[in-house]
Amino acid sequence: MLLSVFIDSLGFGIIIPSMAPVIMELTGQPEPLAVKWNGYLMAVYALLQFFMAPIFGNISDRIGRRPVLLWSLAAFGIDFLLTGLARTMTWLFIGRAVAGVFGASYAAAGAYIGDMSNDENRARNFGFIGAAWGSGFTLGPVIGGFVAAHIDPRAPFFVAAGLAMANVIFGLFVLPESLPRERRRKFEWARANPFGAVKSLAHLPMVAGLLLAVFLYQVAHDSLPAVWMFYTQHKFGWGSAEVGMSLTFVGIMTVIVMGGLTGVVVPRIGERRAITFGFLLMTLGFLGYAFATQGWMLYVAMAIGSLGGIANPAVQTVMSRQAGPSAQGELQGAVASLNGIAAVISPLFMTQLFSYFSQPPVPVIFPGAPYLVSGVLVLLCVLVGARAVKPVAVR
């Protein structure tokens, strides 16, 4: 499972340095204007995820995780291929729509990990899946930046498509099913929609508040893929190679935090403190992005914000424990659905915010505005998480 997530994130990371050049090529617009198209593309994907993720999450509770994961990986392969071949923005939107309908890979992976975990190793295992994703990000942007710079800005999309399809083949022959038949449950349409899934889980102690924190965090987090390429190019003159290196640094930090620190720190200080301290560190990271005056300052902010990554496995641990063994897919579907609606709101709002504050006649030129707003949202997560999770004795 972890190797599959690694390959998936490797393909996703490869395309990131190329998105801005491709969008600017197809639209003929500079960064402050082209960034809006990236927001629209992300919103299409996220809106479809909002409606489809609970369906596939509940389907995975009925038929198992393996087929849902393989469908999702195949959809990403089609998306990457269409993006690489795109000659108009319409092609990009079609590719994003396909991935949005079937793209449930991370939710299925989260349910898979929930199936395999117990209370003793749950936080560590969710940390491992974050580390696998971060490892792909460590290599992906470097590969993508190199390929884009030395071959063609579109070449990384074909590399990513090949990786996605290779991952499908790998899964067909290697990946076992994690959900035994006796733990599967009947598919219910009342629970297989974004509102029904959240309602079904919201009665559980602590889950409702943490779902709100998940939503606020995701709105903040999605400012990064929506704006980062355009922000760094506009403010610091970064190209594909520099963007790729910055994402690789984030990937390295993610591996260190998720693969090492999470399994040590969370059991020692408890989920509640991990959530509080983690979100506080993320807040500092976003503020660092907003007010950085030189490119190297972004790396300091990335290091601080990445250390806050201990919050996410802690949140997943609490919710997974509350959901129980028969509703892991439903939980991950609800989380993916909230992430989806957040990813509709965030790119549209954050890209418009960046565009507005990056060019005259705005009273104050402040392209870091999206990250200032994101910092405030994550600070709210601190308050919500502290209120939702009851204090327990540190183990």
Going from N- to C-terminal start, the domains of the chain cover: 2-174+189-388
Q: Which amino acid is at 238?
A: W
| Average pLDDT of the segment spanning 228-254 | 85
Residues 116, 129: Cα–Cα separation, whole Å: 12
- Do the Cβ atoms of 109 and 66 come closer than 8 Å? no
**Span 173-184, mean pLDDT?**
83
Contact 81, 164 (CB under 8 A): no
What is the pLDDT averaged over residues 206-219?
86
Instruction: Reply yes or no on whether the pLDDT at 193 is more than 70.
Output: no
Phi, psi of 133 (to 5 degrees): -65, -45
**Residue 104: both structure tokens together:** 């449930």
Backbone φ/ψ region at 360: left (φ over 0), alpha (ψ -120 to 50), beta: beta
Residue 394 confidence (pLDDT): 43
Which residue matches tokens 């969008």? 23
* 201, pLDDT greater than 70: no
Check: CB of residue 104 under 8 Å from CB of residue 68: yes
**Residue type, position 209, single letter:** G
Q: Read off the tokens for 62.
A: 């009925």
Q: What's the rounded Cα separation, in Å, for the pair 74 and 145?
A: 24
pLDDT at 308: 93
Tell whether the model's pLDDT for residue 339 goes beyond 80: no
Average pLDDT over residues 310-338: 77
pTM: 0.70
Q: What is the pLDDT of residue 31?
A: 73
Instruction: Supply 187's token pair.
Output: 């598919």
Residues in the chain: 395
Q: Tens digit of pLDDT for each residue in 23-55?
A: 888 888 877 778 788 878 877 877 887 777 777
* 199 contacts: CB under 8 Å, gap ≥ 6: none
Q: Is the pLDDT of residue 395 over 60?
A: no
- pLDDT of 225 higher than 70: yes
Q: Which residue has the higher pLDDT, 30 or 376?
A: 376
Q: Specify whether domain 2-174+189-388 bears CATH 1.20.1250.20.
A: yes
Select from 157, 154, 171, 14 the least CA-distant residue to 77.
157
On the question of pLDDT at 197 being above 90, the answer is: no
Reference 201, options 338, 100, 60; nearest CA is 338
The three-state secondary structure class of 233 is: helix
DSSP 310: G
Query: Is 9 a residue whose pLDDT tops 80?
Result: no
Least confident of 303-307, 314-318, 390-394: 390-394
Q: What tokens appear for 227 in the block?
A: 């704006």
